[in-house]
Amino acid sequence: MKNPPTRPLLTIGKLAQLTGASVRSIRHYDEHGLLASVRAANGYRLFADNAVTQVKQIQRMIATGFTLDDIRGFPDCMLLIDGARSCDQITDVQRERLEAIDRQIADLEKRRARLVKMLRDGAVPPLD
């Protein structure tokens, strides 16, 4: 029985090229346990081809406000399937993140209003 052909591993540079992520970001994801790499004899990191999907998913989740610690707690389905729909297991986390963003927006709107008032009136308005 023949062994199935092995798929070539990607260098960190090739992974960066395929994903648009920086080499530094990929190292960071790997160091945080979000990617699996092996070391070549020369010490360089090598990645399986599914790392392309994983890096793209990590980038999407970061773009929606999740931290690497948040992402590390997500189920594998969030990292292993390109364009994966949110898993039911993280719906509560997503809602919490949305509420946090809404609070930040409200705080920024208050700050903006205070600054507009300061510019209009020429004085620092009192705190609410």
Q: How far apart are CA 24 and CA 16, in angstroms?
A: 9
First vs last Cα of the chain: how many Å apart?
A: 77
Residue 85's Cβ-count burial label (10 Å; 0-12, 13-18, 19+) is exposed
In this structure, the dihedral spanned by the alpha carbons of residues 82, 88, 89 and 90, taken in order and rounded to 10 degrees, is 70
Q: How many CB atoms lie within 10 A of CB 99?
A: 10
Per-residue pLDDT tens digits for 84-124: 556 666 778 888 889 999 999 999 999 999 999 888 988 77
Q: How far apart are CA 55 and CA 127, in angstroms?
A: 44
Per-residue pLDDT tens digits for 36-45: 888 888 988 8
Domain at 7-85, CATH from 3.40.50.300, 3.10.20.30, 1.10.1660.10, 3.40.1830.10: 1.10.1660.10
User: Across the chain, what does the average pLDDT equal?
Assistant: 84
pTM: 0.71
Contact 37, 48 (CB under 8 A): no
Domain coordinates in residue numbering, the chain: 7-85, 87-128
Q: Which residues pair with 38 in a beta bridge?
A: 46
Q: How far apart are CA 97 and CA 104, in angstroms?
A: 11
pLDDT computed for residue 79 by the predictor: 63
